[in-house]
Amino acid sequence: MVLLHTQQTVKYLRVAPAAIWTLDYFLTLEHEIRLFSSMSCWSVAIVMFILTRYAPVVWIISETYATLGRQSVETCVTSYRASGGRSPRVR
């Protein structure tokens, strides 16, 4: 029973950054739209801001899927390998 409780806590802690990022996104969206619509030209700083602001979307989607989705052993091994882990032996 303790193991199940611990697993659920780990899931909550892995999904919590997605909730915080989503909240921040919606709280500042109006300000971003107003700022970008008032600018006449784009600079390197603006492009860097957009990349750093919206790059976490890919991480959040993949992390939420990995945390909440049911996965087979093969999927877990593939995810582990993609993250740079050594190939475990699957029997």
pTM of the model: 0.51
Instruction: Give the tens place of pLDDT for each residue, 35-65.
Output: 888 888 888 888 898 888 888 888 778 777 7
CB of 62 closer than 8 Å to CB of 71: no
Helices and strands (H and E) in the chain: how many? 4, 0
Of 18-27, 42-51, 68-77, 78-87, the one with minimum mean pLDDT is 78-87
Structure-model confidence comparison of residues 80 and 34, the more confident one: 34
What pLDDT, on a 0 to 100 scale, did the predictor assign at position 23? 92
| Cα–Cα dist 35/6, whole Å | 44
